[in-house]
Chain A
Amino acid sequence: MKKKIFIVSFIFFILILLVFFYLLIIERNPTELPSNLLNKNVPKFEADSLIKKEKFISSEEFGNEIVLVNFFATWCRPCLEEHNYIKRFSNEEKIRIIGINYKDNKKAAINWLNKLGNPYSNIPIDKDGRVAIEWGVYGIPETFVINSNGIIKYKHIGPITEKVYKKINLLIEKIE
Chain B
Amino acid sequence: MITKKIFITFIFISQLLLSNSYSVEPDEILQNPKQELRARDISKNIRCMVCQNQSIDESNAPLAKDLRILIRNQIKDGKNDEEIYKFLTDRYGDFILLKPAFKLNTLALWLLPFIFVLVGIFIVFFHNKKSKKI
Contacts and interface: CB of A to CB of B under 8 A. Distances in A.
Direct contact of A and B (CB under 8 A): yes
Contacts of A139: 12-13, 15-16, 49-50, 63
Contact of B9 (A31, A33, A34, A103): A31
B109 interface: no
Nearest to B67: A133
Contacts, number: 57
Interface of A: 31, 33-37, 75-78, 81, 103, 128-130, 133-136, 138-140, 158-159
Contacts of A133: 66-67, 70, 91
A158 B125 CA distance: 56
17 contacts: A33-B49, A33-B92, A35-B93, A36-B91, A78-B11, A78-B12, A78-B15, A103-B62, A129-B62, A130-B70, A133-B66, A133-B70, A134-B91, A136-B93, A138-B63, A140-B12, A159-B12
Contacts of B18: 75
Nearest to A31: B9
B53 to A, nearest CB: 13
Contacts of A138: 49-50, 63, 92
